[in-house]
Chain A
Amino acid sequence: MKRLFRTGLLASAMAVGLGLSVANAAGPTNDDLLNDAKSTGDVLTYGMGHQGQRFSPLTALNPDTVKKLVPVWSFSFGGEKQRGQESQPIVHEGMIYVTGSYSRLYAVDAKTGEKKWQYDHRLPEGIMPCCDVVNRGAALYKDKIYFSTLDARLVALNKDTGKVVWSKKTADYQAGYSATAAPLIVDGKIITGNSGGEFGVIGMVEARDAETGELIWQRPTIEGNMGTLNGKESTMTGKLNASWPGDLYKTGGGATWLGGTYDPETKTLFFGTGNPAPWNSHLRPGDNLYSSSTLAINPENGEIKWHYQTTPHDGWDFDGVNELVAFDLKKDGQTIKAGAKADRNGFFYVLDRTNGKLINASPFVSKITWAKEIDLKTGRPVYNDDNRPGSPEAAEKGKSVFAAPAFLGAKNWMPMAYSPATELFYVPANEWGMDIWNEPITYKKGAAYLGAGFTIKPLYDDYIGALRAVDPKTGKIVWEYKNKAPLWGGVLTTAGNLVFTGTPEGYLKAFDAKSGQEVWKFNTGSGVVGSPVTWEQDGEQYVAVVSGWGGAVPLWGGDVAKMVKDINQGGSLWVFKLPKA
């Protein structure tokens, strides 16, 4: 009814000559955001629904009709600046909002590809983002569009004019903080994680008033640190010194750089946390909670409901930041409120999302060296102790080990998708390992320090990337698609029995969701490392994806970076549709 009402308003406003911007000004409500997974005429949230399933109920496109999917227009991000385009477009009332590299945001007419406005964030000198100048997407709520910038600010713009409404510093870029994830908006609160600052940093989840940008609560992710609520101290995260020696908890890592998801059914936020600091795990005996974990958080006050730690006492740089995707697990005649996470460490976890209890954990890559398995009774990994990098002694480097997955992860940032139709997860995985050691001496800012050394190596000659369909009931891999270059883009699935994802080779590809057979591809001219979306417009099904090669692989990939060095950069938004017959 709301939608009808707004359409009516639009017509009358135009009639009296007030113009489009006034008529559109209302924008989506909280209910609209909560309904995003079901509504087919728009894409209002990162994840195509707060649960992050990236599933569309649309069926016009299917393995038979997809061959008729054709490009409609392409929009260049322009400028001299290109590099990694990891964004997911937002689509609302005929407008596409898409972020580009270097903290840029564009509003483009969804029908014509005509630019309505562009916002170029002025980046200060001295920012030092670790892993390319990417941005993963914007958030839309009421009359404002929000995104995070490389200098660790959160910016709110009027969605119709692109004018800044407010801009808040969320962390100090001079201390090495940055921000690249898409914000999450729940009940009028805009919720973000933090990123960057490879040392001396602790992870944080923060909620602000979406209207004003004022801080409401903060939840540090590392045990022993104090949270805040409405400007006052609230509660301590965990218990002081329970899993950390001395004052190391104050600088313990655990950044929440990938943002989070939200489950409206249990009213819970899920945020993944990064690896602990310092690097050398021998110096911080204990589990180092809540590093490399998923935290379930109450959006009202920032209190932690439960946690599940995927890599206790991490020694391999296995961030636990990956998204937890809420879904209904139908097993043995029961429906369990579950959540799934494909972790950097190579295991696919299925948890009871009401309490964090482990239901199943299974490998989704072919080689995992650091643990034999995850003990389903205790929920803890059974470590291979001799695969932990050694402590540096004397003038020699600590024992070097070959570990798989590599630190870039069996799955990195790129979001997976879940289809309630096939009851399968579609996981963009990579098959690689690393030599890793604790180095006695390297140099930081001209001073000797102790670092970790690592070099990434592919496991196989013919492929690194693997898109895998995982059955959450059994942990079995139902099908896989192998890709020569590492996969670095998000996944989309539809009720039309399709799975879409991009490749560094430049293709947007579609697969039969049940069989994994490749049924369509289109080369966008540069690597695809963004997340595709689909929606319906004027009775036709559309698909959009950004193109532009970059991200962490060319910067951090060692031997793999050499493999992909000839891929040209780019920066554009591609829009496709299935024309009416």
Chain B
Amino acid sequence: MSLLGRRHFLTLTAAALAAGVAPRRASARPLDDVMADGRLRVAVYRDNPPFSYRDGGRLTGVDVDLGRVIAERLGVKVDYMELTAGETVFDDLRNAVWKGHYLGGGVADVMMHVPYEKEFGLRNPEAVLFGPYQRENFALARNPMRVTQPLLAALPDEPVGVEVDSIPDFFLLGAFGGRLRERIVHYMTVPEAVDALVKGDVSAIVATQSQIEGALGERVKNFPVTPVSFPGMMTSSWDIGMAVKENSRDLAYAVGDVITATIEDGTLDKIFQRYGVTRNAVPTE
């Protein structure tokens, strides 16, 4: 089934294409070096629940657990590099995978939580994007007493929470002729917005389904979560995978094979369940 993993590559430049069909070169670092080191350095975002975050000082989350499983199945130990998010993922790929931050700290072998999308990959030829393991989408979480219908167009005249600068923020500020603009309440993070929903400060929130579910946990019983799309406006879903440096294609193959196996044997679903998050399969699986 490793072929299936390999299908999930974005091979982008002509040079990259050539490298992709060439036999594995012994000189390419990556897989051989990882195996020789006995360690896989995995980059995860700082403060990015439910995927990677500190819980009582301990690094945890979906991406952290998945990174550990990958290392285990490759037969090496795992090290984590916590990555402060830059302005865009372009910066993060540069800092985590192919160049390192100018403040120092080096690079990781594999970066988790990288958008897997063709156009984005084409614009980042220094990295190889592979192994999508989650389809992200947006969702509405609501207090059912105050918001009776799970429809954006039917939101009542009540405050609605969003994460500042997110797509739901932009969408709701501009949607329906700006009708909702005065009622949008901005929070710095999705967990803060979820707390506001639970406390009753807002009647509903719109954010990624993963983040809402991760923050709600058991409380999801009282606050129904419904996937939503932003019709006619912009992308409402995207896939999340991993990245390695362009010269580390063989490592990507090996890690991609592990991902495929964890999808097939149910390990990946179990990891998501551990954090109360719905795993949406990437359609080509």
Contacts and interface: CB of A to CB of B under 8 A. Distances in A.
Interface string A234-261: 0000000000011110110000000000
Given A125-B105, A395-B234, A446 B167 contact: no
B173 A283 contact: yes
Interface in A194-241: 198-200
Interface in A112-126: 123, 125-126
A247 B103 contact: no
A444 B89 contact: yes
A247 B84 contact: no
B182 interface: yes
A441 interface: yes
A278 B181 contact: no
A445 B82 contact: no
A444 B46 contact: no
Q: Is the interface of A mostly helix, strand, loop or mixed?
A: loop
B207 to A, nearest CB: 9
Interface stretch (A127-135, A328-336, A403-411): A127-135
B167 A450 contact: yes
Most chain B CB neighbours (cut-off 10 Å) among A283, A395, A443? A443
Contact of B167 (A132, A250, A449): A449
B67 interface: no
A133 B102 contact: yes
A248 B186 contact: yes
Given A246-B184, A278-B169, A448 B82 contact: no
B185 interface: yes
B120 A443 contact: yes
A130 B136 CA distance: 28
B176 interface: no
Contacts of A282: 174
B185 to A, nearest CB: 6
Interface string B84-114: 1111111010000000001101000000011
Nearest to A279: B165
Contacts of A251: 164-165, 186
A441 to B, nearest CB: 5
B87 A200 contact: no
A200 B188 contact: yes
Contacts of A283: 170, 173-174, 181
A214 B18 CA distance: 62
Q: Is the interface of B mostly helix, strand, loop or mixed?
A: mixed
Interface residues of A, number: 45
Contact of A245 (B170, B182, B185): B182
A282 B177 CA distance: 11
Interface residues of B, number: 45
A443 B90 CA distance: 8
A83 interface: yes
B278 interface: no
Contact of A247 (B45, B46, B51, B184): B184
B233 interface: yes
Contacts of B47: 174
B170 A445 contact: no
B7 interface: no
B240 interface: yes
A450 B170 contact: yes
B234 A392 contact: yes
Contacts, number: 118
B85 A444 contact: yes
Given A133-B103, A245-B181, A277-B165, A440 B173 contact: no
Given A200-B188, A443-B89, A448 B115 contact: yes
Contacts of A250: 186
A245 B183 CA distance: 9
B89 A445 contact: yes
B2 interface: no
B57 interface: no
Most chain B CB neighbours (cut-off 10 Å) among A175, A198, A444, A448? A448
Contacts of B51: 446
Given A282-B174, A395-B235, A445 B165 contact: no
Contacts of A381: none
A199 B234 contact: no
A127 B103 CA distance: 9
B166 interface: yes
A57 interface: no
Interface in A123-166: 123, 125-128, 130, 132-133
B234 A126 contact: no
Interface string B39-58: 00000011110010000000
Contact of B165 (A128, A200, A246, A443): A200
A394 B235 contact: no
Most chain A CB neighbours (cut-off 10 Å) among B86, B115, B234, B235? B234
A525 interface: no
A102 B86 CA distance: 18
Given A128-B86, A394-B232, A394-B233, A123 B103 contact: yes
A365 to B, nearest CB: 26
A562 to B, nearest CB: 16
B208 interface: yes
B71 to A, nearest CB: 20
B209 to A, nearest CB: 12
Interface string B207-222: 0100000000000000
B135 to A, nearest CB: 12
Pairs A-B, 8 closest by C-beta atoms: A446-B113, A443-B89, A445-B85, A199-B165, A126-B84, A283-B173, A443-B115, A200-B164
Given A444-B87, A446-B114, A448-B235, 8 more contacts: A133-B103, A198-B87, A245-B178, A248-B173, A394-B234, A443-B115, A443-B120, A443-B238
19 contacts: A125-B82, A125-B105, A126-B46, A128-B84, A175-B188, A198-B87, A199-B165, A245-B173, A246-B183, A283-B173, A285-B178, A443-B88, A444-B88, A444-B165, A446-B240, A447-B208, A448-B115, A450-B167, A450-B170
